[in-house]
Amino acid sequence: LVVDLSTYSNFETDVYEWIRMIQMHVPGFCFLLVGTHCDKISEEKREKFCANIYKLFLDAEAKTIGLLKKQIDSAPRNKLQLQEQLENRPSCIGNGVFAVSSSQMSGISALYDAFIDHVDTEGVAIRLPSRYTSLMEKLATYGRSQPNEPVMDLSLLDHADLEFVSEKELHTALEL
């Protein structure tokens, strides 16, 4: 998740609605927080903004965990399922906010290292549905065979093979 630190005052309106929307469509999604344009603000402001942004996300996560615990206590028949959900909930917020500047090329290597560590964390990666990987493979094969063709003729794909699915089915497949 990229946040322009030079416009920090707009942080909540710019980012929070996006986060809520993503959480509705992809429950448990994981992300790293990246603060950009750090060369446009003082180091003191950068540290303050990064700490505040990170605290907001940690507070939101604590609130979510509190709500799950409350649901566990108030719903005995769903208690085991909710407890399992709480216990298996991966930590999906990276470790802090990574301040980077593309003009000064600062912070990039630390972000890269954190990204690699984050992706390697158990529970962060998701398995893509076989239909999706099949489509990716067909597109890659076509791209290699037609390097100068900018547009793929969709009639080359066998739509029956792809078995288009609803959004609900896709979410179910992604949760496997």
* pLDDT in the model for residue 171: 54
Residues 9 and 81 in one domain: yes
Task: Specify which of 5-19, 44-58, 61-75 reaches the highest per-range mean pLDDT.
Answer: 44-58
* pLDDT in the model for residue 44: 92
pTM given for the model: 0.48
CA 102 to mean position of chain CA atoms: 22
CB atoms within 10 A of CB 60: 15
- Work out how many domains the chain is built from and give that number: 2
> Could you tell me if residue 125 is inside a domain?
no
* pLDDT in the model for residue 151: 53
Structural domain harbouring 164 = 130-175
Q: Could you give the CA distance from residue 46 to residue 39 in angstroms, rounded to a whole number?
A: 9
Residues 108 and 141 in one domain: no
- How does residue 129 score in pLDDT terms, banded at 50, 70 and 90? low
- How does residue 105 score in pLDDT terms, banded at 50, 70 and 90? confident
Taking CA 124 as the corner, what is the angle to CA 17 and CA 163, rounded to the nearest 5 degrees?
A: 80
Residues 101 and 46 in one domain: yes
Residues 25 and 110 in one domain: yes
Question: Between 79-87 and 43-74, two packed helices, what is the crossing angle to 10 degrees?
Answer: 160
Residues 99 and 158 in one domain: no
Task: Specify which of 2-6, 41-45, 91-95, 132-136 reaches the highest per-range mean pLDDT.
Answer: 41-45
Residues 45 and 110 in one domain: yes
Bridge partners, 106 (sequence order): 101
Residues 18 and 91 in one domain: yes
> Could you tell me if residue 78 is inside a domain?
yes
pLDDT over threshold 80, residue 38: yes
Residues 17 and 52 in one domain: yes
Residues 92 and 111 in one domain: yes
153 or 35: which carries more pLDDT confidence? 35
Residues 12 and 71 in one domain: yes
